Amino acid sequence: MNYENLLVEMHGKVALITLNRPKALNALSPALTAELSDLLDRLETDDKVAAVVLTGNEKAFAAGADIKVMKDWSYMDVYKSDFITASWERLASFRKPSIAAVAGYALGGGCELAMMCDFIIAADTAKFGQPEITIGTIPGAGGTQRLTRFIGKSKAMDMVLTGRTMDAEEAERCGLVSRLVPAEQLLDEALAAASRIAELSAPVVMMAKESVNRAFETTLSEGVRFERRLFHSTFALADQKEGMAAFAEKRKPAFKNS
């Protein structure tokens, strides 16, 4: 898999995807998001891949959509192509677990891309923000919606209306990131978390992910009903039998993803 704007490395069953436009602080050009979408299509159907870690570099996870590419686009250009296009949203519909490992800037579309992952692990150097308002537009890849669900109305309004950035400590405090680690430990921590998930039953992990995501789409009673049906369906899997038998027999489970 050779891409111009991405690097891909396997760590066991974990695919480490590195956004790779360092000179532009990983600005998310149409070419980059198209490549990411293509890669995720491949990884989704590849049984050798159980989880994904998405990262950038020390200075930037990604500093947003590529302003230089889009600055002269007309209303009809963005409306007809439905920019932000499906290639951006591909990550949000990816069914395998995904972790964003964020150091440096995660701004605009960069913050939105990180929020499309299942959870975010941040280096102490991370800076999050939705600064679109400062360049005469608003978030367009889910920022007003996902950020509000992550951190609540008051903080989301503060971020989106002022365009200010928040540091990694504030991001952890308000629930945008799940873990905060020293920058030099970021990749180890993210890869260890993804590898831990990769050891578990793949279909059960997918069900757990689907069920948590349902919480953002439905009422509590419908969500609980949905969860219960998925919980019931785990009892049709050999992996549920194996997991519970292993517990009773005081041994490590050997999941077979079936």
Q: Which residues contact residue 174 at a Cβ distance below 8 angstroms, ignoring those fewer than 6 apart?
A: 150, 151, 152, 155, 166
151 binds ligand CAA (CB under 6 A): no
> Which is closer to ligand CAA, CB of 16 or CB of 65?
65
Q: Which residues contact residue 62 at a Cβ distance below 8 angstroms, ignoring those fewer than 6 apart?
A: 19, 25, 26, 27, 28, 56, 105, 106, 107, 109, 110, 113
Which of 6, 17, 25, 121 is close enough to bind ligand CAA by CB under 6 A? 25
27 binds ligand CAA (CB under 6 A): yes
Residue 70 CB, shortest distance to ligand CAA, in Å, is 8
| Pure H helices in 102-256 | 109-116, 143-151, 153-162, 168-173, 186-198, 202-214, 220-234, 238-248
Quote the DSSP letter at residue 65: B
Where does this chain touch ligand CAA (CB under 6 A) — which range of 35-43, 72-80, 103-111, 169-177?
103-111
Structure tokens at 225: 């009903």
78 binds ligand CAA (CB under 6 A): no
Asked whether the beta carbons of 234 and 227 are under 8 A apart, the reply is no
Which of 32, 84, 122, 186 is close enough to bind ligand CAA by CB under 6 A? 84
10 binds ligand CAA (CB under 6 A): no
Site residues (CB under 6 A) for ligand CAA, limited to 154-213: none
User: Angle CA(231)–CA(150)–CA(147) in degrees, nearest 5?
Assistant: 130
Which of 35, 132, 172, 239 is close enough to bind ligand CAA by CB under 6 A? 132
**Where on the chain is the footprint of ligand CAA (CB under 6 A)?**
24-25, 27, 63-68, 84, 105, 107-109, 112, 131-132, 135, 139-141, 143
